[in-house]
Copies of this chain bind each other. A is one copy, B any other.
Amino acid sequence: MVNKFERARDAVVSTPSLVIDLPTVEANLAQLHQYAEKASIKVRPHTKTHKSVLFAKRQLAYGSRGLTVAKVGEAEVMATVSDDILIAYPAIDPDRRRRIAELAKTSSIHVAVDSAYAIHVLGEAARNAHSMIGILIDINVGADRTGVADAEASLELAKLVAKSESLRLDGIFFYPGQVWAPAGEQESPLHAIDEKLAAAISLWQENDLPCPIVSGGSTPTAYQSHCIKSQTEIRPGTYIFNDMNTVRAGFCQEEDCAAAIICTVVSTAVPGKGVVDAGTKTLTSDRNVLHPLTGHGHVIEYPAAVITRLSEEHGEIDFSACPNRPNVGDRISIIPNHICPCVNLQNEVILHDAEHNLTPSKVDSRGMLS
């Protein structure tokens, strides 16, 4: 396979560096937005993956309907390029709700919540700020992380929102985080999710409650979005870069990965092993979701190598299955298991364009605590 990171690998000043291949980013964006257009579904990308205004602008240029964030600090950054922001998080503590109410003065803000408490305190914050916060009711569709249990529970919260003068009932939020099977392999589990959502929507309609937005999706379910007829928009994040989670689950090929960690082999003293300058402070400890025993990422130059163990600054690689082995001082390129937290560890990433120019680019919303 051609290694598109080769030129950047040999040219970056320091290692470890996170390089983003821009032509691959454009191809990933084009593919998803073409699919979404065909499926008549809107895209509201989750910016947690790139945390960069630059990439948010590209996503908007491809026709994204607003943006998704996890943190209020990210919302404040992304509100500089979009006036329609979904906070995919029950952001309910005093500091967050005050800032959300402030942001809602100038942007259309939607917050996903699953408790009467959240509705009460966000309503109060908006009232104090003389703004209007949009609310999505989070329904648990099987990930068992957040979300109310069923249609009846969602109706109860929707009624609370409808009663508030400072909140706007915007619809339903769900996160199918448990679905990691590609479409076609089996009867899509998304059909059952669709039935659950349809029941809630129907119950809301019977109670004259508006439900303009039904927001779901993730990168694993993105190309199965047509299986959830009820949803109006999807929130994939990883699709812009991809990683070994999406490759090993069968959602894309290795060549669709736009991000790699360039690192240096710093030791080969222990027999059969090479050590690189990328440990958990670069690659994180995240294991592969579906294949946790495949090691801590994929070495492009040595496909048979296994990244067996990480400590903070050391990545230990077993090269014993490789016909050749690198020497101390050689550079290699690693595709991480999970790209989102890797980007979060960088102050800046290095952009690689079609002409092989390398440009550092700030990770704008990195380090936003709340």
Q: Please list the residues of chain A having a beta carbon within 8 angstroms of any beta carbon in chain B.
A: 13-17, 48, 70-71, 89-93, 95-96, 114-115, 117-118, 121, 138, 140, 144-149, 153, 177, 264, 266-271, 273, 275, 277, 280-281, 284-287, 309, 311-314, 316, 327-329, 340-341, 344-347, 367, 369-370
Interfacial chain B residues near A270, Cβ < 8 Å: 140, 144-147, 149
Besides the contacts A92-B328, A138-B269, what 8 more A-B pairs have beta carbons closer than 8 Å?
A15-B93, A89-B277, A93-B329, A114-B267, A117-B329, A144-B270, A280-B284, A280-B341
Docked-complex contact A269 and B92, CB < 8 angstroms: no
Interfacial chain B residues near A313, Cβ < 8 Å: 48, 70-71, 89
Nearest chain B CB to A113's CB is how many angstroms away?
8
Interfacial chain B residues near A138, Cβ < 8 Å: 267, 269
A17 to B89, CA, bound (A): 17
Main secondary structure of the interface of A (DSSP, over half): loop
Shortest 9 CB-CB distances between A and B: which pairs? A285-B285, A114-B269, A14-B95, A14-B370, A90-B266, A146-B267, A93-B264, A117-B328, A70-B313
Partner of A115, one of B91, B121, B267, B312: B267
A23 to B354, CA, bound (A): 55
A90 to B71, CA, bound (A): 37
Q: In the complex this chain forms, how many copies of it are found? A: 2
Nearest chain B CB to A345's CB is how many angstroms away?
8
Interfacial chain B residues near A284, Cβ < 8 Å: 280, 284-285
Docked-complex contact B281 and A344, CB < 8 angstroms: yes
A36 to B295, CA, bound (A): 39
Interfacial chain B residues near A15, Cβ < 8 Å: 93, 95, 369-370
Please list 11 pairs of residues, one from A and one from B, whose beta carbons are closer than 8 Å in the complex, sorted by A's number. Answer: A14-B369, A15-B95, A92-B266, A92-B329, A114-B269, A115-B267, A121-B329, A144-B270, A146-B275, A148-B269, A285-B287
A145 to B312, CA, bound (A): 12
A277 to B148, CA, bound (A): 18
A96 to B277, CA, bound (A): 11
Nearest chain B CB to A12's CB is how many angstroms away?
9
Docked-complex contact B314 and A146, CB < 8 angstroms: yes
Interfacial chain B residues near A341, Cβ < 8 Å: 280-281, 312
